[in-house]
Amino acid sequence: MPDEDPPMTEPSPTIEPPPAAFDPIAVAADIARRIGVKVVRNQPLARLTTLRVGGPADLYVVARNAFELRALVRYARSRNLPHVLLGRGSNVVVADRGIRGLVVAVRAEGSRIEGDRYSAEAGVPMARAATETSAAGLAGLEFGLAIPGTVGGAVWANAGAHGSDVASVLVSATVLAADGREVQLGPTELGLGYRTSRLKVPVGPDDVTPAGLGAAPVPVVLSATFQLRADDPAAIRARLDEIRRWRREHQPLGLPSAGSVFRNPPGDAAGRLIEAAGCKGWQVGGARVSERHANFIVTERGARAADVRALAERIRAAVAERFGIRLEYEVVFLGDWAEAPEPVDPSLPGPAAGSEADR
Protein backbone atom coordinates (compact mmCIF):
# COMPACT_ATOMS: atom_id res chain seq x y z
CA MET A 1 0.00 0.00 0.00
CA PRO A 2 1.46 3.41 -0.93
CA ASP A 3 2.36 5.82 1.83
CA GLU A 4 0.55 8.69 0.17
CA ASP A 5 -3.19 8.89 -0.33
CA PRO A 6 -4.53 8.18 -3.83
CA PRO A 7 -6.09 10.95 -5.93
CA MET A 8 -9.54 10.40 -4.51
CA THR A 9 -8.42 11.70 -1.13
CA GLU A 10 -6.79 14.92 -2.31
CA PRO A 11 -7.97 17.98 -0.37
CA SER A 12 -11.36 19.21 -1.55
CA PRO A 13 -12.86 22.69 -1.20
CA THR A 14 -13.98 23.74 2.25
CA ILE A 15 -17.48 22.55 3.04
CA GLU A 16 -19.83 24.86 4.85
CA PRO A 17 -21.27 23.61 8.14
CA PRO A 18 -24.53 21.73 7.55
CA PRO A 19 -27.84 23.44 8.22
CA ALA A 20 -29.61 22.49 11.43
CA ALA A 21 -32.45 21.13 9.30
CA PHE A 22 -33.54 21.00 5.71
CA ASP A 23 -36.90 21.29 4.01
CA PRO A 24 -37.57 17.79 2.62
CA ILE A 25 -40.49 18.96 0.49
CA ALA A 26 -38.41 21.65 -1.18
CA VAL A 27 -35.40 19.38 -1.64
CA ALA A 28 -37.54 16.59 -3.13
CA ALA A 29 -39.10 19.03 -5.61
CA ASP A 30 -35.70 20.46 -6.51
CA ILE A 31 -34.19 17.01 -7.16
CA ALA A 32 -37.16 16.03 -9.33
CA ARG A 33 -36.87 19.25 -11.33
CA ARG A 34 -33.09 19.18 -11.80
CA ILE A 35 -32.43 15.46 -12.24
CA GLY A 36 -35.80 14.12 -13.34
CA VAL A 37 -36.17 11.36 -10.77
CA LYS A 38 -38.97 10.64 -8.32
CA VAL A 39 -38.22 11.31 -4.67
CA VAL A 40 -40.22 9.58 -1.92
CA ARG A 41 -40.55 11.13 1.53
CA ASN A 42 -40.47 8.99 4.69
CA GLN A 43 -39.77 5.81 2.75
CA PRO A 44 -39.79 2.73 5.04
CA LEU A 45 -36.43 0.99 4.70
CA ALA A 46 -36.99 -2.29 6.57
CA ARG A 47 -38.33 -4.12 3.52
CA LEU A 48 -35.43 -2.76 1.45
CA THR A 49 -32.81 -4.47 3.63
CA THR A 50 -32.09 -8.17 3.96
CA LEU A 51 -32.38 -7.95 7.77
CA ARG A 52 -35.91 -6.50 7.50
CA VAL A 53 -35.50 -3.96 10.31
CA GLY A 54 -35.07 -0.20 10.46
CA GLY A 55 -37.01 3.04 10.17
CA PRO A 56 -37.69 5.41 7.27
CA ALA A 57 -35.48 7.61 5.12
CA ASP A 58 -36.29 11.31 5.13
CA LEU A 59 -35.89 11.20 1.35
CA TYR A 60 -35.46 8.15 -0.88
CA VAL A 61 -34.61 8.01 -4.56
CA VAL A 62 -33.62 5.27 -7.01
CA ALA A 63 -30.65 5.86 -9.33
CA ARG A 64 -31.35 3.63 -12.33
CA ASN A 65 -28.22 4.48 -14.31
CA ALA A 66 -24.75 5.93 -13.85
CA PHE A 67 -25.89 9.41 -14.96
CA GLU A 68 -28.53 9.60 -12.22
CA LEU A 69 -26.11 8.22 -9.63
CA ARG A 70 -23.47 10.84 -10.44
CA ALA A 71 -26.04 13.62 -10.53
CA LEU A 72 -27.61 12.69 -7.20
CA VAL A 73 -24.29 12.39 -5.38
CA ARG A 74 -23.08 15.70 -6.81
CA TYR A 75 -26.36 17.36 -5.86
CA ALA A 76 -26.13 16.13 -2.27
CA ARG A 77 -22.46 17.09 -1.97
CA SER A 78 -22.97 20.58 -3.35
CA ARG A 79 -25.67 21.27 -0.74
CA ASN A 80 -23.99 19.40 2.10
CA LEU A 81 -27.05 17.18 2.28
CA PRO A 82 -26.43 14.02 4.33
CA HIS A 83 -26.69 11.06 1.98
CA VAL A 84 -26.27 7.30 2.06
CA LEU A 85 -25.96 4.89 -0.85
CA LEU A 86 -27.88 1.64 -0.48
CA GLY A 87 -27.27 -1.36 -2.69
CA ARG A 88 -29.32 -4.49 -2.12
CA GLY A 89 -29.61 -3.76 1.59
CA SER A 90 -27.29 -6.51 2.81
CA ASN A 91 -24.53 -6.00 5.38
CA VAL A 92 -26.37 -3.06 6.99
CA VAL A 93 -28.45 -2.44 10.11
CA VAL A 94 -30.64 0.64 9.72
CA ALA A 95 -31.61 2.35 12.96
CA ASP A 96 -35.22 2.18 14.11
CA ARG A 97 -35.34 5.97 13.87
CA GLY A 98 -34.33 5.72 10.23
CA ILE A 99 -31.81 7.70 8.20
CA ARG A 100 -31.69 11.48 8.06
CA GLY A 101 -31.18 13.14 4.72
CA LEU A 102 -31.17 11.36 1.37
CA VAL A 103 -30.94 7.62 0.71
CA VAL A 104 -29.96 6.71 -2.85
CA ALA A 105 -30.80 3.17 -3.95
CA VAL A 106 -28.18 2.21 -6.50
CA ARG A 107 -29.82 0.40 -9.43
CA ALA A 108 -27.33 1.30 -12.16
CA GLU A 109 -27.00 -2.19 -13.66
CA GLY A 110 -25.23 -1.92 -16.99
CA SER A 111 -22.62 -4.59 -17.76
CA ARG A 112 -20.53 -5.84 -20.67
CA ILE A 113 -17.96 -8.48 -21.50
CA GLU A 114 -14.93 -7.64 -23.63
CA GLY A 115 -12.61 -10.57 -24.16
CA ASP A 116 -11.70 -11.88 -20.72
CA ARG A 117 -12.72 -8.70 -18.90
CA TYR A 118 -16.07 -8.00 -17.29
CA SER A 119 -17.21 -4.43 -16.60
CA ALA A 120 -20.23 -3.68 -14.44
CA GLU A 121 -21.92 -0.60 -13.03
CA ALA A 122 -22.18 -0.23 -9.28
CA GLY A 123 -25.72 -1.59 -8.96
CA VAL A 124 -25.13 -4.94 -10.65
CA PRO A 125 -25.78 -7.72 -8.11
CA MET A 126 -22.68 -9.81 -7.51
CA ALA A 127 -24.72 -12.99 -7.97
CA ARG A 128 -25.70 -11.79 -11.44
CA ALA A 129 -22.07 -10.97 -12.21
CA ALA A 130 -21.18 -14.54 -11.29
CA THR A 131 -23.84 -16.09 -13.52
CA GLU A 132 -23.27 -13.71 -16.47
CA THR A 133 -19.57 -14.41 -16.58
CA SER A 134 -19.97 -18.14 -16.08
CA ALA A 135 -22.39 -18.26 -19.02
CA ALA A 136 -19.66 -16.65 -21.12
CA GLY A 137 -17.13 -19.29 -20.06
CA LEU A 138 -15.18 -16.88 -17.82
CA ALA A 139 -13.96 -17.91 -14.38
CA GLY A 140 -12.96 -15.81 -11.39
CA LEU A 141 -16.21 -14.32 -10.10
CA GLU A 142 -17.83 -17.53 -8.89
CA PHE A 143 -17.47 -16.33 -5.28
CA GLY A 144 -19.89 -13.51 -6.16
CA LEU A 145 -22.73 -16.01 -6.02
CA ALA A 146 -22.32 -15.99 -2.23
CA ILE A 147 -22.27 -12.17 -2.00
CA PRO A 148 -25.79 -10.75 -1.52
CA GLY A 149 -24.74 -7.19 -2.39
CA THR A 150 -23.79 -5.22 -5.48
CA VAL A 151 -20.58 -4.58 -7.38
CA GLY A 152 -20.24 -1.13 -5.81
CA GLY A 153 -20.63 -2.47 -2.29
CA ALA A 154 -18.32 -5.40 -3.04
CA VAL A 155 -15.51 -3.05 -4.14
CA TRP A 156 -16.18 -0.76 -1.16
CA ALA A 157 -15.79 -3.67 1.30
CA ASN A 158 -13.46 -5.91 -0.74
CA ALA A 159 -16.12 -8.57 -0.37
CA GLY A 160 -15.09 -12.17 -0.59
CA ALA A 161 -16.09 -15.76 0.01
CA HIS A 162 -14.95 -19.31 -0.74
CA GLY A 163 -11.27 -18.45 -0.88
CA SER A 164 -11.47 -15.45 -3.18
CA ASP A 165 -12.29 -11.76 -3.02
CA VAL A 166 -12.67 -8.63 -5.14
CA ALA A 167 -8.99 -7.69 -4.83
CA SER A 168 -7.95 -10.92 -6.54
CA VAL A 169 -9.79 -10.12 -9.80
CA LEU A 170 -10.27 -6.34 -9.85
CA VAL A 171 -8.52 -4.37 -12.58
CA SER A 172 -9.86 -0.96 -11.59
CA ALA A 173 -12.88 0.89 -10.30
CA THR A 174 -14.27 4.16 -11.60
CA VAL A 175 -14.73 6.36 -8.56
CA LEU A 176 -16.41 9.73 -8.14
CA ALA A 177 -13.73 11.34 -6.01
CA ALA A 178 -14.22 13.81 -3.18
CA ASP A 179 -13.23 16.70 -5.45
CA GLY A 180 -15.82 15.76 -8.08
CA ARG A 181 -13.47 14.12 -10.59
CA GLU A 182 -13.99 10.64 -11.96
CA VAL A 183 -10.82 8.62 -11.45
CA GLN A 184 -9.72 5.08 -12.26
CA LEU A 185 -8.24 3.36 -9.22
CA GLY A 186 -6.63 -0.06 -8.99
CA PRO A 187 -6.61 -2.41 -5.98
CA THR A 188 -3.48 -0.83 -4.47
CA GLU A 189 -4.81 2.72 -4.78
CA LEU A 190 -8.11 1.58 -3.31
CA GLY A 191 -6.24 0.09 -0.36
CA LEU A 192 -8.12 -3.20 -0.56
CA GLY A 193 -7.59 -5.35 2.51
CA TYR A 194 -9.57 -7.93 4.44
CA ARG A 195 -13.16 -6.67 4.13
CA THR A 196 -12.02 -3.07 3.85
CA SER A 197 -10.82 -0.33 1.52
CA ARG A 198 -9.89 3.34 1.60
CA LEU A 199 -13.43 4.08 0.49
CA LYS A 200 -14.80 3.11 3.87
CA VAL A 201 -15.64 5.92 6.26
CA PRO A 202 -14.20 5.35 9.76
CA VAL A 203 -16.98 4.52 12.17
CA GLY A 204 -17.50 6.65 15.24
CA PRO A 205 -16.92 5.50 18.82
CA ASP A 206 -20.50 4.19 18.80
CA ASP A 207 -19.74 1.95 15.78
CA VAL A 208 -22.14 3.98 13.63
CA THR A 209 -21.10 4.95 10.10
CA PRO A 210 -21.77 8.68 9.58
CA ALA A 211 -23.82 9.88 6.61
CA GLY A 212 -21.30 12.52 5.57
CA LEU A 213 -22.94 15.30 7.57
CA GLY A 214 -20.44 18.11 7.95
CA ALA A 215 -17.58 15.92 6.75
CA ALA A 216 -15.57 15.62 3.55
CA PRO A 217 -17.48 13.96 0.68
CA VAL A 218 -17.17 10.20 0.55
CA PRO A 219 -15.74 8.69 -2.67
CA VAL A 220 -18.36 6.69 -4.55
CA VAL A 221 -17.86 3.62 -6.78
CA LEU A 222 -19.56 4.10 -10.16
CA SER A 223 -18.36 0.92 -11.92
CA ALA A 224 -15.66 -1.73 -11.87
CA THR A 225 -13.72 -3.90 -14.31
CA PHE A 226 -12.59 -7.44 -13.48
CA GLN A 227 -9.88 -9.58 -15.09
CA LEU A 228 -11.16 -13.13 -15.57
CA ARG A 229 -9.90 -16.24 -17.34
CA ALA A 230 -11.40 -18.63 -19.84
CA ASP A 231 -12.47 -21.99 -18.46
CA ASP A 232 -14.68 -24.94 -19.27
CA PRO A 233 -18.30 -23.79 -18.69
CA ALA A 234 -19.13 -27.16 -17.15
CA ALA A 235 -16.31 -26.76 -14.61
CA ILE A 236 -17.52 -23.26 -13.74
CA ARG A 237 -21.09 -24.50 -13.29
CA ALA A 238 -19.82 -27.26 -11.01
CA ARG A 239 -18.10 -24.69 -8.79
CA LEU A 240 -21.27 -22.58 -8.67
CA ASP A 241 -23.30 -25.65 -7.72
CA GLU A 242 -20.84 -26.40 -4.92
CA ILE A 243 -21.18 -22.87 -3.59
CA ARG A 244 -24.98 -23.20 -3.64
CA ARG A 245 -24.77 -26.54 -1.82
CA TRP A 246 -22.42 -25.17 0.84
CA ARG A 247 -24.64 -22.16 1.49
CA ARG A 248 -27.75 -24.33 1.85
CA GLU A 249 -25.98 -26.53 4.38
CA HIS A 250 -24.18 -23.87 6.41
CA GLN A 251 -26.15 -20.59 6.24
CA PRO A 252 -29.69 -19.66 7.35
CA LEU A 253 -30.98 -19.05 3.83
CA GLY A 254 -34.61 -18.00 3.65
CA LEU A 255 -34.48 -16.12 6.96
CA PRO A 256 -33.88 -12.36 7.24
CA SER A 257 -30.23 -11.62 8.03
CA ALA A 258 -27.55 -9.10 7.11
CA GLY A 259 -24.92 -11.76 6.43
CA SER A 260 -21.86 -12.18 8.62
CA VAL A 261 -22.13 -9.87 11.62
CA PHE A 262 -18.45 -9.86 12.59
CA ARG A 263 -15.18 -10.02 10.71
CA ASN A 264 -13.00 -13.05 11.24
CA PRO A 265 -10.12 -12.22 13.58
CA PRO A 266 -6.62 -13.17 12.40
CA GLY A 267 -6.16 -16.92 12.40
CA ASP A 268 -9.66 -17.77 13.55
CA ALA A 269 -13.33 -17.63 12.57
CA ALA A 270 -15.87 -15.40 14.25
CA GLY A 271 -18.53 -18.09 13.95
CA ARG A 272 -16.36 -20.64 15.78
CA LEU A 273 -15.64 -18.20 18.60
CA ILE A 274 -19.29 -17.24 18.98
CA GLU A 275 -20.40 -20.86 19.07
CA ALA A 276 -17.65 -21.80 21.53
CA ALA A 277 -18.77 -18.92 23.77
CA GLY A 278 -22.18 -20.58 23.95
CA CYS A 279 -24.09 -17.91 22.06
CA LYS A 280 -25.98 -20.07 19.56
CA GLY A 281 -29.72 -19.66 20.08
CA TRP A 282 -29.39 -16.47 22.15
CA GLN A 283 -32.25 -14.09 21.53
CA VAL A 284 -33.09 -10.48 22.31
CA GLY A 285 -36.57 -9.40 21.27
CA GLY A 286 -37.03 -10.49 17.68
CA ALA A 287 -33.32 -11.04 16.95
CA ARG A 288 -31.71 -14.47 17.32
CA VAL A 289 -28.24 -15.93 16.86
CA SER A 290 -28.62 -18.40 14.03
CA GLU A 291 -28.42 -22.04 15.07
CA ARG A 292 -27.04 -22.91 11.64
CA HIS A 293 -24.21 -20.35 11.54
CA ALA A 294 -23.31 -18.50 14.73
CA ASN A 295 -21.98 -15.42 12.91
CA PHE A 296 -25.45 -14.70 11.53
CA ILE A 297 -28.22 -12.90 13.38
CA VAL A 298 -31.68 -13.65 12.01
CA THR A 299 -34.86 -11.73 12.73
CA GLU A 300 -38.51 -12.56 13.31
CA ARG A 301 -41.56 -10.51 12.45
CA GLY A 302 -41.67 -7.47 14.73
CA ALA A 303 -37.92 -7.39 15.35
CA ARG A 304 -36.24 -4.03 15.81
CA ALA A 305 -32.80 -2.79 14.91
CA ALA A 306 -32.24 -2.16 18.62
CA ASP A 307 -32.76 -5.88 19.27
CA VAL A 308 -30.11 -6.77 16.67
CA ARG A 309 -27.59 -4.32 18.05
CA ALA A 310 -28.17 -5.31 21.68
CA LEU A 311 -27.73 -8.97 20.80
CA ALA A 312 -24.58 -8.26 18.78
CA GLU A 313 -23.07 -6.35 21.70
CA ARG A 314 -23.81 -9.21 24.08
CA ILE A 315 -22.19 -11.67 21.68
CA ARG A 316 -19.13 -9.45 21.47
CA ALA A 317 -18.93 -9.20 25.27
CA ALA A 318 -19.23 -12.98 25.66
CA VAL A 319 -16.43 -13.66 23.17
CA ALA A 320 -14.21 -11.04 24.79
CA GLU A 321 -14.78 -12.54 28.24
CA ARG A 322 -14.14 -16.11 27.08
CA PHE A 323 -11.24 -15.58 24.66
CA GLY A 324 -9.94 -12.05 25.23
CA ILE A 325 -10.75 -11.16 21.60
CA ARG A 326 -12.77 -8.11 20.65
CA LEU A 327 -14.72 -8.92 17.49
CA GLU A 328 -14.97 -6.16 14.89
CA TYR A 329 -18.20 -5.57 13.06
CA GLU A 330 -18.55 -6.52 9.41
CA VAL A 331 -22.10 -5.18 9.29
CA VAL A 332 -22.53 -1.42 9.06
CA PHE A 333 -24.82 0.49 11.42
CA LEU A 334 -26.56 3.28 9.55
CA GLY A 335 -28.88 6.09 10.55
CA ASP A 336 -30.00 7.87 13.67
CA TRP A 337 -29.00 5.74 16.64
CA ALA A 338 -29.35 8.61 19.14
CA GLU A 339 -31.62 7.69 22.01
CA ALA A 340 -32.05 4.18 20.68
CA PRO A 341 -34.83 2.40 22.59
CA GLU A 342 -33.97 -0.27 25.10
CA PRO A 343 -34.13 -3.84 23.75
CA VAL A 344 -37.44 -5.64 24.12
CA ASP A 345 -35.92 -8.22 26.46
CA PRO A 346 -33.60 -6.47 28.94
CA SER A 347 -32.52 -9.72 30.60
CA LEU A 348 -29.35 -11.50 29.64
CA PRO A 349 -29.92 -13.59 26.52
CA GLY A 350 -29.99 -17.33 26.70
CA PRO A 351 -31.10 -20.30 24.63
CA ALA A 352 -34.52 -19.57 23.11
CA ALA A 353 -37.30 -22.05 22.64
CA GLY A 354 -37.73 -23.64 19.24
CA SER A 355 -35.34 -23.57 16.33
CA GLU A 356 -35.04 -22.13 12.87
CA ALA A 357 -36.34 -25.40 11.48
CA ASP A 358 -39.59 -24.82 13.40
CA ARG A 359 -40.32 -21.51 11.64
Q: Would you please indicate which residues are annotated as catalytic (active-site) residues?
A: 195, 260, 330
Angle, helices 66-78/24-35, rounded to nearest 10 degrees:
140
Half-sphere exposure of 230 (CA within 13 A, CB side): 3
Q: Which helix (H) or strand (E) holds 249?
A: helix 233-250
CA-to-CA separations, 79 to 30, 49, 161, 200, in angstroms, rounded: 12, 27, 38, 22
Q: How many residues does the chain have?
A: 359
Q: Which residues pair with 297 in a beta bridge?
A: 289
Vertex 282: Cα angle to 277 and 285 (nearest 5): 150
Instruction: Give the max Cα distance, the chain.
Output: 58
Sequence-separated contacts (24+) of 74-80 with Cβ below 8 Å: 74/176, 74/180, 75/31, 75/34, 75/35, 76/101, 76/102, 76/104, 76/212, 77/180, 77/217, 79/27, 80/15, 80/16, 80/17, 80/18, 80/19, 80/213, 80/214
Burial class (CB in 10 A: 0-12, 13-18, 19+), 24: middle
Residue 240, SS3 per DSSP: helix
Measured distance CA(45)–CA(30) in Å, rounded:
22
Q: Which residues pair with 113 in a beta bridge?
A: 118
Cα-Cα-Cα-Cα dihedral sign, residues 337, 339, 345, 348: positive
